[in-house]
Structure 1
């Protein structure tokens, strides 16, 4: 028996970086970590580009042409799966299909993620699509989630294959080969990298590390930058700020539909338990401003979601919307009772940028600060 060098260092480094970033992508699937989640996706895309070219110029066993994908190979492998005879030195037929499937699904997941980020959040390279497809933002999110779940299934199948091979064919050392590159074979099937392959792998690794360094901490990164900018309401309508912000925080007009603003401004004598009456001219001035900038006029995610959840309902408070309730249902009551919060209506306690017309996920304050 021989100890053959099957998996080169670049192949193994790719494998572990690929697996590690996919794990981080799932762990960062949280609204507050959205920017990091997106950048991790771009990092995985870089690795996929490397693996695509490596599949053509890399060493034997890493090349796609060495993947046994013929149906007869799959059938033969399945019928002899319990045999200790080692016919496939690199990937076996089932593992080959699993790997190709993972590569394809990961690519689609990343592309749909970039689409969802652009359409739903108005961020990233495809943020311009927000204007055209914002009413269908949930479609892209659902497609992204579907392929993410499909990826989990493929990864589970891949891991099952690895560990079943460990049980059925322990002498082959397949699992340990993922770490050290060596398999035990009947003949010496060792591979060697040429200068061009080494140089190509080094260049890509350098580019990948540079991407991580320059993007993970960069401000105004175009890969995750938002097209939604802050608003100076004092400049836009001083009366709105003077009359409304004197009693509570500034609620951006785009957080409620026009019908809600009309109802609210038409009954200021009973404004959530207070008399906030204004003279007719001031009332009209503020109402016109609110209607002109209501949820119907905005393409921000929060506006679309609130508009959908309030539709045909007589609601004049964000906290009464189904969208708000769903987003905040897991927050303990004691958070809203905290001395720095005091009320569900105090959005600024957690959303530091709300008075600038923004409710960005990465600007949400950690609720542990109020626990």
Structure 2
């Protein structure tokens, strides 16, 4: 049977790179210390999708949007006959035509919402300036990002399931064609112009260059961390000296003001110890803690602790629902290891906590006995 060259090299490269990127971002999504890599892959996906949009308008046979079949009646007929004698299409069938548009829209929405969350919640990237009191209610942006990414993955799953069904039920070579470019049957082969070839080289190359650049330069504007370290000794020496002499220096934003007031007013019973201070020092430290408490912070951890705390009697960060949920998956033996000792030794894994930083990129789970 005659073979027709349907998918150009750049269409196939886009497809393969997108598959790799989506698999990578899905696998690392649950690892908070890999957030930078999540963002890097996300930006790369965004650039690849922009390439696909441009490619769809460059008059590339079978890949251009004009060759997509968006006819609703054809879609109904295709789906109703999916297990029977369905019509074969040289390029995209009606179902895949709609799926590709949905994936492009949802993919870009996922990237854009991810950039917004990265900025508003983490204080990182090009939208880090949005990490202000105006955007304290960060859950909305996070919920939107999760909605778009889940919808994106759902459409991808349906698209893959359809391709595999076509492959094993009808012995279609659609999957192989996206690898090698050819489909069996008579039709017009794709032939790229010099401009299309140059555009493909530049855009695919740009995606790979962007990925490499972001990977090698963590201080670049797209993933730069705008959170500033705090010199607590310089800000309030008494707070620094009294707290760090006994335990990890906890940033004031990790508890609401009510918790700090309760704690400071009962230093005689400070987690089993008498940490009494003279009245002047106690009031000075208390005022500093209240002034810099969770209510005054735009940090992600501060806002989520505020929402998770059930009553103002909670004076231990480790007793908040947010802390417990975030650390639930960690092997309990780690907290008892010599390197950690107990659950309150936050600096064992959060190396910059005593400088006011609890960034995901800094998380290093302590290992060893």
- 1:305-330 deviation digits (Å, cap 9, x = unpaired): 11222253301110111111111112
Alpha-carbon shift at residue 215 of structure 1 (Å): 0.9
Determine whether 1:164 maps to 2:161. no
3-state secondary structure, aligned to 1:227: coil
Q: Matches of 1:350 and 1:182 in 2, distance apart?
A: 52
Determine if contact 1:119/1:133 at 8 Å carries over to the other structure. Answer: no
Alpha-carbon shift at residue 73 of structure 1 (Å): 2.0
**1:219-368 maps to which residues of 2 (within 5 A)?**
219-367=218-366
Query: Which aligned segments of 4 or more residues in structure 1 are displaced greater than 3 angstroms?
Result: 78-87
**Alignment-derived partner of residue 43 in structure 1:** 44
Alpha-carbon shift at residue 286 of structure 1 (Å): 1.2
3-state secondary structure, aligned to 2:57: helix
**Alignment-derived partner of residue 10 in structure 1:** 10
**Alignment-derived partner of residue 151 in structure 2:** 150
**Structure 2, unpaired ranges of 5+:** none
**Alignment-derived partner of residue 183 in structure 1:** 183
Alpha-carbon shift at residue 146 of structure 1 (Å): 1.5
Alpha-carbon shift at residue 202 of structure 1 (Å): 0.9
Specify whether residues 134 and 311 from structure 1 end up closer, same or farther in structure 2 by C-alpha distance, changes over 3 A only. farther
- 1:327-347 deviation digits (Å, cap 9, x = unpaired): 111222211111111111111
TM-score scaled by length of structure 1 = 0.95
Q: Matches of 1:79 and 1:257 in 2, distance apart?
A: 58
**1:84-95 maps to which residues of 2 (within 5 A)?**
87-95=88-96
Q: Matches of 1:79 and 1:341 in 2, distance apart?
A: 60
Alpha-carbon shift at residue 76 of structure 1 (Å): 3.5
Specify whether residues 81 and 245 from structure 1 end up closer, same or farther in structure 2 by C-alpha distance, changes over 3 A only. closer
Determine if contact 2:78/2:87 at 8 Å carries over to the other structure. Answer: no
Specify whether residues 79 and 293 from structure 1 end up closer, same or farther in structure 2 by C-alpha distance, changes over 3 A only. closer
Alpha-carbon shift at residue 14 of structure 1 (Å): 0.3
Of 94-103 and 133-142, the range deviating more from structure 2: 133-142
**Alignment-derived partner of residue 19 in structure 1:** 19
Alpha-carbon shift at residue 198 of structure 1 (Å): 0.4
3-state secondary structure, aligned to 2:210: helix
Alpha-carbon shift at residue 84 of structure 1 (Å): 5.7
Alpha-carbon shift at residue 205 of structure 1 (Å): 2.0
- 1:226-272 deviation digits (Å, cap 9, x = unpaired): 33210001111111111211111211111111111111111111111
**Alignment-derived partner of residue 196 in structure 1:** 195
**Alignment-derived partner of residue 139 in structure 1:** 140
3-state secondary structure, aligned to 1:121: coil
Alpha-carbon shift at residue 221 of structure 1 (Å): 2.2
TM-score scaled by length of structure 2 = 0.95
Q: Matches of 1:246 and 1:168 in 2, distance apart?
A: 70
Determine if contact 1:121/1:301 at 8 Å carries over to the other structure. Answer: yes
Specify whether residues 261 and 313 from structure 1 end up closer, same or farther in structure 2 by C-alpha distance, changes over 3 A only. closer
Determine if contact 1:256/1:306 at 8 Å carries over to the other structure. Answer: yes
Q: Matches of 2:245 and 2:151 in 1, distance apart?
A: 51
3-state secondary structure, aligned to 2:223: coil
3-state secondary structure, aligned to 1:136: coil
3-state secondary structure, aligned to 2:183: strand
3-state secondary structure, aligned to 1:183: strand
Alpha-carbon shift at residue 191 of structure 1 (Å): 1.5
Alpha-carbon shift at residue 80 of structure 1 (Å): 4.7
**Structure 1, unpaired ranges of 5+:** none
Specify whether residues 75 and 340 from structure 1 end up closer, same or farther in structure 2 by C-alpha distance, changes over 3 A only. closer
Q: Matches of 2:149 and 2:236 in 1, distance apart?
A: 45
Q: Matches of 2:86 and 2:149 in 1, distance apart?
A: 36
**Alignment-derived partner of residue 174 in structure 1:** 174
